[in-house]
Amino acid sequence: MKYDYLVIGSGPAGHVSAIRAAQLGLRVGIVEKDMAMLGGVCLNEGCIPAKSLYHSARVLDTVRRNPDLCGLEVRHGGIDMAGLVEKSRETARQLRNGLSFLFKKNSVDLIIGTARFVDKETVHVSGESGEASRVKAEKFLIATGSAPRPLPGIPFDRERVITSSQGIRLEKTPEKMLIVGGGAIGTEFASFFNTIGTGVSIVEIEDSLLPAEDREVSKRMRSIFKQKNIETLVSSRVKKVSVESGAVAVTIEGPDGETTEKYGLLLVSVGRIPSTSGLGLEKIGVATDDKGFIPVDERMRTNAENVYAAGDVLRTPMLAHLAYAEGEIAAETAAGQTSDPIDYSSVPNAVYSEVQAASVGMTEEKARSEGIDFRVGKQFFKSNGRAAVNSQTEGFIKIIADRDTGGLLGVHIIGYEAAESIHEFVVAKKAGLSVGDIAKTIHAHPTFSETAAEACRAVFGEAIHG
């Protein structure tokens, strides 16, 4: 059989693209090298199981901190990590089964095996048991995702030196651990392990936690970590690691020199690298850059006329929701349709720590560096009625708006369910609405979203409850 469109990789970009292409009338196949990883890293080793663990930990922590909650008698005991992990695995299994159903529903053929290009219309697919076949297609999508970036000279042993992939499967936790990398994933894991009782230190080479976020958000998150006894070492790097006597000895170089500490576990979260090697891209002339990323145009077309790419193999933010959009555009292009290009400045980012952070658009630092004339409005959740009711008053919403037009340049939230609250601003920014438009929109009371309107009013110094 020759497919109209063959997708390599079943992660967020791949499975969305395959289903969308099938909806548009194309004969579609999708190749996944491991049935147990159907749906990709996000579904099996990232977004879904990790957030399941975080949610379980937060529920347990809420009960632990509120023994008289709803008049219930709470009996304290140890945390059943194996149970938490099993719940997260079951969640992933349910969604994986759902994805299999969607493929069947949309007549997408699932092919299990590792794909490698033979020529511009053929891939060789080899299975785990040694069986092999050749699959032909008119057009292809490369959506093979990414893998954890190792520390130079420090290999993962998957027992004491681990990645997030092993971190979500730990059924026993150490008394003390070090996380290398203070970005979103490192921050989330630090928050999770701290919540379940592990002593956590986190080291970041940049001069702030969450270096990609607005400085005020980063600073507040670090303060929250300090309150929770999470040690944050910024402007620091790991210089040496050795595993000895069931522990990991780590030498850290910081502003005040070198220190060596022993930890029960070292979790490395210093970014990810595209999984583009071994695909035979040289056989079909698909270009990659010096880091292995595949350059594409706004229609997700590579330099090879019948080959598209989407998701983590692109030099765009490695976010599942962005991969969805990129995959959909690739499918529509392959089917001869035209769709609006992605506005990357309106793509939201979220950090799922106990106190969440979320953002869209420019940071204040970025706006200042570009010489933009802007105003800042900020409103704290402590003045919000629903936040008080829910005992979730930590954090704020910060708005960066054009001084003359009131147009949204950037929004930064730290607080309860920030990842949900950001979408009002994403829609407003994409639609070209001003802070005045949001401020004049009546928000239901009592809700956390009222703080959004107040933050917009604060841009002009008119917040009622601020």
Catalytic residue among 15, 124, 321, 445: 445
Strand ranges (E), 95-185: 108-112, 114-119, 122-126, 132-142, 146-148, 161-162, 176-180
Taking CA atoms, 151 is separated from 39, 122, 270, 455, in Å, by 27, 36, 8, 41
**In which element (H, E) is residue 76 found?**
none
- For residue 273, how many C-alpha atoms fall within 13 Å in the half-sphere facing its CB? 11
d(CA 239, CA 152): 10
d(CA 12, CA 148): 17
For residue 323, give both structure tokens: 């991969």
Largest CA-CA distance found in the chain, in angstroms, rounded? 69
In one letter, which amino acid is 418? A
Per the annotation, the verdict on 76 as an active-site residue is no
Taking CA atoms, 17 is separated from 20, 157, 210, 226, 300, in Å, by 5, 35, 31, 43, 11
Please choose, from the candidates 268, 296, 5, the residue with its C-alpha nearest in 3D space to the C-alpha of residue 123: 5
d(CA 106, CA 21): 9
Q: How many CB atoms lie within 10 A of CB 201?
A: 18
Catalytic residues: 445
